[in-house]
């Protein structure tokens, strides 16, 4: 299988290194700048449990170089996605599968959900340009249950978790979902094919919706966020709103917010991905993690005062530091209800 990784950062580097080291796929990467140089000079590199895993890398700046692929893994931050899909066409053959290993609500999430209407989610797919470049038929959904960081360009450190869930956006387990899950499992991941990837995505988002932005604008690790009873109740209030939204779009959650907080506590004290981005001066993924949730709630006529406040505070923080656009348009609420 020919596999191309777009975005050889933390998660892209984790997936690329393991696939290349396993030798079960022909793995290439699209990268730029110092990451491209590091991959060409030192190959794929990952530190996990104190051990260095290394493998040769075929890295390119131009997507024409590797040509059409069997599988394209998109592992970039949400703000970079529009520029990525503008150049993705050379990688796409007739049967190419696209696997977005990204945070939050993916661009395709609203497609086929009657309650959300036919219009693309403007917060994550403005003007439908991403859907046009990567049609739903090409997509396999992906949920990443792993934490990693980039120690230096081209060198990834895995911290915790080893899970990857893949599945068809429309539900059910297909042959191609099983094939991709098997490929990832053979490379050392705890990978499985899901028959309801939307539910899996929504459950992860339900936990990240509050912890990520609150940790970013307070600078607090996850344990400190949950230790403050007022902040924890604010998280729970936003999660109750998101739970009601999930029930309306076919992604009901049986747990209570307190149940989910206990899951988070068992992970220990750590910096969320959005806090790491804020500290590094990288753009914040607010649109995919919070903005899209608010947009969907507006479309189904659900009031979300806690989510609204969360988005307002987080984006103001981002704007004051140049990490979120000043002129971000309000999501449209005009879709049929």
Residues with a known catalytic role: 204
Find out whether 210 and 235 touch, Cβ atoms under 8 Å: yes
Taking alpha carbons only, the member of 64, 44, 60, 63 closest to residue 52 is 44
Residue 68, CA distances (Å) to 61, 97, 205, 209, 266 in order: 15, 11, 32, 35, 42
Q: How far from chain centre, in Å, is Cα 53?
A: 24
Torsion 293-284-201-270 (CA) sign: negative
User: 2 pairs with which residues across the strands?
Assistant: 26
Strands (E), the chain: 2-6, 26-30, 44-48, 51-55, 58-60, 69-74, 92-100, 141-152, 155-167, 190-194
3-state secondary structure of 55: strand
Distance CA 306, CA 160 (A): 30
Measured at the alpha carbon of residue 335, what is the angle toward residues 329 and 337, in degrees to the nearest 5?
135
Find out whether 256 and 232 touch, Cβ atoms under 8 Å: no
């Amino acid at each position: 299988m020919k596999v191309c990784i777009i975005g050889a950062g933390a998660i892209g580097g984790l997936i690329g290194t393991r696939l290349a080291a396993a030798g079960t796929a022909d793995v290439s990467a699209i990268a730029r700048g110092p990451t491209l140089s590091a991959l060409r000079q030192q190959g794929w590199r990952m530190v996990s449990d104190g051990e260095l895993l290394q493998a040769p890398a075929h890295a390119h700046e131009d997507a024409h170089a590797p040509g059409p692929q069997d599988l394209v893994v998109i592992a970039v931050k949400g703000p970079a996605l529009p520029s990525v899909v503008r150049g993705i066409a050379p990688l796409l053959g007739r049967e190419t599968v696209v696997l977005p290993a990204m945070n939050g609500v993916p661009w395709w999430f609203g497609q086929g959900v009657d309650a959300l209407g036919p219009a693309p989610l403007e917060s994550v797919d403005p003007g439908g340009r991403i859907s046009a470049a990567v049609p739903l038929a090409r997509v396999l959904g992906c949920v990443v249950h792993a934490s990693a960081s980039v120690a230096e360009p081209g060198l990834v450190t895995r911290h915790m978790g080893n899970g990857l869930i893949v599945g068809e956006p429309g539900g059910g387990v297909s042959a191609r979902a099983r094939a991709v899950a098997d490929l990832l499992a053979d490379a050392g991941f705890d990978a499985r094919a899901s028959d309801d990837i939307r539910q899996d995505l929504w459950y992860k988002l339900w936990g990240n919706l509050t912890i990520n932005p609150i940790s970013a604008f307070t600078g607090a690790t996850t344990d400190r966020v949950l230790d403050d009873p007022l902040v924890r109740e604010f998280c729970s209030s936003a999660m109750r709103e998101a739970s009601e939204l999930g029930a309306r779009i076919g992604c009901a959650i049986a747990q209570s917010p307190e149940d989910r907080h206990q899951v988070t506590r068992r992970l220990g004290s750590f910096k969320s991905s959005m806090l790491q981005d804020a500290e590094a001066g990288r753009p914040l993924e607010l649109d995919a993690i919070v903005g899209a949730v608010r947009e969907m709630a507006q479309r189904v006529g659900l009031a979300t005062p806690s989510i609204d406040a969360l988005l307002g505070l987080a984006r103001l923080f981002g704007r004051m530091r140049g990490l979120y656009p000043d002129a971000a348009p309000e999501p449209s609420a005009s879709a049929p209800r």
